[in-house]
Amino acid sequence: MCQPVRVQGAECRPGPSPTARALRLEGIRARDGAALDSLLDALADPPWDAEVAPDDEVLPLLRARGFDEYARAVVMARPLEGLAPAPAAPGVRIGPYLNEWADSYAVGEAAAMAAHPFFAHMGPPTGYEGSEGFDAAIAARAEDRVVGFAQAQLPEGWINWLWVHPDHRRTGVATALVWEVANAVREARGTHLAALVPTQSDGAALLAKLGFRRRTERVLLLRRPDDAA
Ligand SMILES: CC(C)(COP(=O)(O)OP(=O)(O)OC[C@H]1O[C@@H](n2cnc3c(N)ncnc32)[C@H](O)[C@@H]1OP(=O)(O)O)[C@@H](O)C(=O)NCCC(=O)NCCS
């Protein structure tokens, strides 16, 4: 757990951002603009990343201090119970990810995530190319290439990263990856699956089809370094 930073009337917990190459200001709260200014003064230099609810009172204060919105996202979740088993698509093998596939991984991820707002602000490399054994790290492979990938936290079932190469989409690869994640979560005695996905996205469409329900909405903001153009 990251140590909180507190000043009079404001606080946050700085830590690594899961979606941008920046210091994530987790749980940021400020009574007013002056308190927020003191908090920001107490932190290491930007880039800073924040994730807040659309109706959070801190949102306009952040915008006024140069935090730009880079994505609207929604938390989607469902219980494990009732999720239908999904076989891999023909010619695709689903199994634990191995770091020795990192080069192939990087090629697939770049093609799959090119238009994804989290990826645009984050990578490459995202670090997932080295995620062998990191909770549930699952690969989909075809002809010795990584064509799909999912990584999730255990036992929470929080899906951090999920992609399928454009050439292999709409053949059930992501559905099979989510099923494999679900098996790992079940083994770890978890009960749910959840993910943060851009509001209007392929990911949101996929998860809706798999029975995930929309929960809280989030606004993702980035404050660039002071010397950035
Ligand atoms: C989202 C993504 C992982 C889906 O992968 P996929 O292997 O094509 O998904 P599946 O084939 O398992 O799709 C299962 C069902 O989900 C729904 N679905 C998936 N992608 C969809 C899309 N782009 N539009 C509408 N519905 C979609 C469909 O109902 C689909 O069934 P159908 O093909 O019979 O209609 C892939 O499009 C991707 O990598 N996108 C970019 C990265 C991303 O958004 N990642 C997720 C959030 S981090």
pLDDT tens, residue by residue, 70-85: 999 999 999 999 999 9
The C-alpha angle with vertex 107 and arms to 105 and 112, in degrees rounded to 5, equals 90
To test the pocket of ligand 1, the residue of 78, 105, 180, 206 to mutate (highest count of ligand atoms within 8 Å of its CB) is 206
Cβ of 126 below 6 Å from ligand 1: no
pLDDT band at 227 (very low <50, low <70, confident <90, very high): confident
200 Cβ inside 6 Å of ligand 1: no
pLDDT for 1 equals 54
* Encoded tokens for 197: 């996905």
Give the chain's mean pLDDT: 95
Note the pLDDT tens digit of each residue in 81-103.
Answer: 999 999 888 899 999 999 999 99
Q: Is the pLDDT of residue 135 over 80?
A: yes
- Tokens, residue 201: 């996205």
Q: Is the pLDDT of residue 104 over 60?
A: yes
The CATH number covering residue 96 comes to 3.40.630.30
Indicate if ligand 1 lies below 6 Å from the C-beta of 147.
no
Ligand 1 in reach of 202 Cβ (< 6 A): yes
Say what the pLDDT of residue 62 is: 98
Does residue 170 have its Cβ closer than 6 Å to ligand 1?
A: yes
Both 61 and 90 in one domain: the answer is no
Question: With 80 as the cut, is the pLDDT of residue 228 above it?
Answer: no
108 and 48 fall within a common domain: no
Residue 224 lies in a domain: no
Instruction: Please check whether residues 102 and 141 belong to one and the same domain.
Output: yes
194 and 141 both lie in a single domain: yes
What confidence score (pLDDT) does residue 132 get? 97
Residue 171's pLDDT is: 96
- 196 with 94, same domain? yes
Q: What confidence score (pLDDT) does residue 189 get?
A: 98
Ligand 1 site, residue 215, Cβ cutoff 6 A: no
Is residue 187 situated within a structural domain?
A: yes
pTM of the model: 0.92
Could you tell which of 153, 169, 197 is best to mutate to test the pocket of ligand 1, judged by most ligand atoms within 8 Å of the CB? Answer: 169
The per-residue pLDDT for 19 is 85
How far, CA to CA in Å, does 43 sit from each of 21, 185, 212, 220?
Answer: 16, 36, 37, 19
Domains in the chain, number: 2
On whether both 98 and 191 belong to a single domain, the answer is yes
Q: Which atom of ligand 1 is nearest to the CA of 171?
A: 11
- 218 in any annotated domain: no
Neighbouring C-alpha atoms within 13 Å toward the C-beta of 64: 10
Tell whether ligand 1 has an atom less than 6 A from the beta carbon of residue 218. no
Res. 39: pLDDT tops 70: yes
Report whether pLDDT(129) > 90: yes
SS3 (DSSP) at 95: strand
Q: Does 108 lie in the same domain as 10?
A: no
41 and 148 within one domain: no
Q: What is the mean pLDDT of residues 176-198?
A: 97
Instruction: State which residues form the domain around 20.
Output: 5-70
Q: Phi and psi (nearest 5°) for 120? A: -60, -35
- Same domain membership, residue 92 and residue 163: yes
Residue 57 within any structural domain of the chain: yes
Q: Could you tell me if 203 and 153 lie in one domain?
A: yes
* Residue 223: inside a domain: no
User: What is the structure's pLDDT at 120?
Assistant: 87
What does the radius of gyration of the chain's CA atoms come to, in whole angstroms? Answer: 19
Is 226 among the domain residues? Answer: no
**Is 178 a pocket residue for ligand 1 (Cβ < 6 Å)?**
no
